[in-house]
Structures are given as structure tokens and as C-alpha cells.
Amino acid sequence: MIDTNFSKQLIDYIASRISLSLEESKLIAEAYSILHVKKKDYLISQDKAGNIEAFVIMGTFRVFYNDSKGLEHVLYFAFKDWWVGDIASFNSGELSMLNAQALEDSIVFTIDPIKKEKLLEQIPQLEKLFRIITQKHLTVLQKRFLLTVSANVAERYHELIQRHPGIEQLVPQHQIASYLGILPESLSRMKKQLLKD
């Protein structure tokens, strides 16, 4: 059930942010379950109850929304030591708006809302940690939103590869296009144009 080596990574992540007793570390390790997700498999699927929050131990995910016209929009990519989940669904029980698909064979720790609720009661310090993590997520999304509405595609492209060097080796270009909010053809065109300068 619990792999000590893997759970160490989650414990380290938390312990580097708040102080944990051995007791508390054990409670955390027991609350989370390890899950192997094969390349192309889904950790979260749209229109199902997305009642999972995951911490990425290894691998990469694309988190995306499938709109009413069938177009996919990548909200973010999630790497090692990132959280993956549909926050709206996790906290309300509503159906998920998001899909999370593994881009390579991946390993995550997952928790459901009931276990998390219990864990937060057992370790009140976690309330503060998760408040801060959520604030950080909100900050990141706010920056992403403002950049999306204020910068052109070339600027957003440069911002992405600067923030994630090497992402182009890991993520297919059409998914980068989707993250940028354009079609693959347009990204291809833009990159060709960039070479001219």
C-alpha cells in the first residue's frame, strides 16, 4: 500500500514547509495512496466526479478542458512535486471540468476529500499549508490569465519556454499550442516566422 521511498518525497515536500512530528508524518503517509498511471491514461476525467487530489512523484501530466465544440484547452502541465486536481470538483462534489492525462508513465500520491478532511483535523497545521499552496496556485493562474489577455502568442510562447526550459522535448507541439490558446498550425507558422528575424 505505502511505499516508504515514494512517500518520503511527499513528506519531504510538506516537512520543508511546516514542521512535522514523526507521528504526523506517519498519518500523512497513511492518508495518501500511491498510484501508477500509464502514459496516455487518465488520472481525472471530465464529467465524472473528479474526487481526487494528486501529488506528482514522477512523470508529467497535461490538465485540460474539453469544450462544447470538442476542442481541448490545456490549463497547465504538471511535473514532479506539483499538485494535480480539479479544485472545483474536489471541494464541491460537482462533476469535473478537467481531464488529467499522463504524458509518460507516472507515479502519484492521491487522496480523496473525506480522507483529506480527516487529515486536516488530525494535523491542523496542514490547514495553513494548504491555504498557502492554494494561494500560490491562485497567483500562478492569475498571472497566466493576465498574460493570456495582454500578450501576443509569441510573447506567451517565450514566457513558457523560459519558465520551463526543455518543455519542448517533453510535450508534443500541438499541446503547447493548446496551452498557448492557438491551433497547432498557427504555432508552426509562428515559429517559422520567428526564425526569419
Cα dist from 60 to 36, 55, 89, whole Å: 12, 11, 21
Q: Grid coordinates in use for 105?
A: 508513465
Q: Which of residues 25-54 bind DNA (CB under 7 A)?
A: 40
CB closer to DNA out of 67 and 121: 67
Looking at residue 189, its amino acid is R
Q: Grid coordinates in use for 82?
A: 506539483
Q: Does 120 bind a second copy (CB under 8 A)?
A: yes
Distance CA 26, CA 21 (A): 9
Among 9, 46, 91, 188, binds a second copy (CB under 8 A): 91
Distance CA 8, CA 13 (A): 8
Q: Grid coordinates in use for 42?
A: 487518465
Among 34, 58, 95, 97, binds a second copy (CB under 8 A): 97
Q: Does 39 bind a second copy (CB under 8 A)?
A: no
Among 21, 124, 162, 163, binds a second copy (CB under 8 A): 124
10 Å CB burial of residue 109 (0-12, 13-18, 19+) is: buried
Per CB under 8 A, which region of 15-23, 40-48, 105-113, 137-145 contacts a second copy?
A: 137-145
Among 7, 97, 187, 196, binds DNA (CB under 7 A): 187
Residues 55, 81: contact at Cβ < 8 Å? yes
190 binds, among a second copy, DNA, none (CB under 5 to 8 A by kind): DNA
The mark string for 144-183 relative to DNA (x by CB under 7 A, - otherwise) is --------xxx-----------------xxx------xxx
Q: How many CA atoms does the CB half-sphere of 141 hold within 13 Å? A: 10
CB closer to a second copy out of 2 and 132: 132
Query: Which residues of the shown chain bind DNA in the complex (CB under 7 A)?
Result: 40, 152-154, 172-174, 181-192
